[in-house]
């Protein structure tokens, strides 16, 4: 089955009982047992719910793994995965991971003894030199936010295996339509499904797929024990979003290419970060491991004042955090998502005051280009 077909026919297609082609929303907490201990696969909705189960089967198929899990947010997914580890364990992470991931590792998981080291994982040797005796996993985000740095998934997974570490990949930016980390040897892939998988700025959710039955058993035990599950309404909304992921990603990327072409020729724009550009450092690696380059771009307009000016003039780019929806969203990382990082450290990382990040949406490309043109001039 090819990708676009799998997004529609993967998992559990429709409803056996009624023939409904869309999985119904089982808005239910408990299930009648035929006799004591005899149930039909569902007993209580924290443990399992038919709508959530259909979503979990779908994402399992789409990522090509053994078990899928749906959580109440991307952060709930990440935190639940970290509950696989014990106090005293250590994890090596990409240094510019999503801000919420950085926060949970440095302000919450550290309190229960899970240690973290952050390195530029686009250089493999940085990961290897951060490995300690108590290291249990490598946590990679590729490409990253906002500078779109790319990590080689195959090389990272091979290296992790050599040291008996689990490889965990946050695949939110590229989506399983373009990139399947498990196929390169990763053990766990996770998503903020709030972004492209949902795709319409109307649901907060997290998904995890594991490539091993035992890991699946362990994670189900954690999901059931700690309870950070996704509800049936949101599970249904997410399945609805995933059906169109393929055509959305194709169109997101087409629009992005046109915007990058425009920005490249614009005199005000200094640096453009997009892995689809042959000049981008991660271009060749991304080409090897992903069938698309996605729809996130960052570019520099020289100063914070200029960035403010541009943002104030734009009409179709909504000033907001988040990404991956039909609406084009724009942000200034230095003042928004990355404001908590000290100024000097930000500059070291390349997050200048004039850096603008766009999540390119699905509006008519001519409107987007005209809008950027008037705002930049
Ligand atoms: C948004 C995001 C998260 C967190 O997901 P929520 O659904 O907001 O909890 C994690 N990783 C990445 C890359 C994200 O963009």
Q: Give the pLDDT confidence of 215-255 residue by residue, as tens digits.
A: 999 999 999 999 999 999 999 999 999 999 999 999 999 99
The answer to whether 211 and 186 have CB atoms below 8 angstroms apart is yes
Q: pTM of the prediction? A: 0.97
pLDDT at 201: 95
Among protein residues, the one whose CA lies closest to atom 1 of ligand 1: 192
Expressed in angstroms and rounded, the spacing between residue 96 Cα and the centre of ligand 1 is 13
> Ligand 1 mean position to 313 CA, how many Å?
28
Mean pLDDT of the chain: 96
Give me the torsion for CA of 89, 93, 99, 102, rounded to 10°: 20
Instruction: Name 374's Cβ contacts closer than 8 Å, sequence gap at least 6.
Output: 313
Q: How far, in Å, is the centroid of ligand 1 from the Cα of 204?
A: 9
Q: What pLDDT does 99 receive? A: 87
Query: d(Cα 322, Cα 328) in Å, to the nearest integer?
Result: 10
Q: What is the pLDDT of residue 342?
A: 81
Cα 296 to ligand 1 centre (Å): 14
Name which residue sits closest to atom 5 of ligand 1, judged by CA. Answer: 74
143 contact partners, CB below 8 Å, separation of at least 6:
149, 150, 173, 174, 275, 282, 286, 294, 296
Name the class of domain 3-243. Answer: alpha beta
| In contact, 91 and 249? CB cutoff 8 Å | no
pLDDT at 154: 98
Q: Tell me if 140 sits within 8 A of 121, measured CB to CB.
A: yes
Question: Considering only CA atoms, which residue is closest to atom 7 of ligand 1?
Answer: 74
> Could you read off the pLDDT of 287-339 as tens digits, one per residue?
999 999 999 999 999 999 999 999 999 999 999 988 999 999 999 999 988 88
Q: Under CATH, to which class is 246-376 assigned? A: alpha beta
Low-confidence residues of the chain: pLDDT under 50: none
Where does ligand 1 bind, in terms of residues with CB under 6 Å?
73-75, 98, 100-101, 141, 170, 172-173, 192, 194-195, 204, 206
Would you kindly state where each structural domain of the chain is located, as residue ranges? 3-243, 246-376
């Amino acid at each position: 089955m090819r990708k676009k077909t799998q997004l529609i026919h993967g998992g559990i297609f429709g409803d056996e009982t009624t023939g409904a082609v869309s999985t119904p929303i089982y808005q239910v907490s408990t299930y009648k047992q035929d006799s004591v201990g005899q149930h039909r696969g569902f007993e209580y909705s924290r443990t399992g719910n038919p709508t959530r189960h259909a979503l979990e089967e779908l994402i399992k198929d789409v990522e090509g793994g053994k078990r899928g899990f749906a959580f109440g947010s991307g952060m709930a997914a990440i935190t639940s995965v970290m509950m696989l580890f014990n106090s005293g364990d250590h994890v090596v992470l990409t240094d510019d991971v999503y801000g919420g991931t950085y926060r949970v590792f440095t302000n919450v998981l550290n309190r229960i003894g899970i240690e973290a080291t952050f390195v530029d994982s686009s250089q493999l040797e940085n990961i290897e030199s951060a490995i300690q005796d108590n290291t249990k996993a490598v946590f990679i985000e590729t490409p990253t936010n906002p500078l779109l740095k790319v990590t080689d998934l195959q090389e990272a997974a091979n290296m992790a295996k050599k040291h008996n570490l689990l490889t965990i990949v946050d695949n939110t930016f590229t989506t399983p339509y373009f990139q399947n980390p498990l196929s390169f040897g990763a053990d766990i892939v996770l998503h903020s499904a709030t972004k492209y998988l949902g795709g319409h700025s109307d649901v907060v959710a997290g998904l995890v797929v594991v490539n091993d039955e035992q890991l699946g058993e362990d994670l189900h035990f954690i999901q059931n024990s700690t309870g950070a599950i996704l509800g049936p309404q949101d599970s249904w909304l997410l399945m609805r979003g995933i059906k169109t992921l393929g055509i959305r990603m194709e169109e997101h990327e087409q629009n992005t290419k046109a915007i990058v072409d425009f920005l490249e020729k614009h005199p005000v724009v200094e640096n453009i970060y997009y892995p689809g550009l042959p000049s981008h450092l991660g271009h060749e690696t991304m080409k090897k491991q992903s069938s698309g380059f996605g729809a996130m771009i960052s570019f520099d307009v020289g100063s914070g004042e200029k960035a403010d000016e541009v943002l104030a003039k734009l009409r179709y780019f909504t000033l907001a955090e988040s990404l991956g929806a039909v609406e084009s969203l724009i942000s200034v990382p230095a003042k928004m998502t990355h404001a908590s990082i000290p100024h000097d450290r930000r500059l070291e990382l390349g997050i200048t005051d004039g850096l603008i990040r766009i999540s390119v949406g699905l509006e008519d490309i001519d409107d987007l280009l005209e809008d950027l043109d008037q705002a930049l001039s």
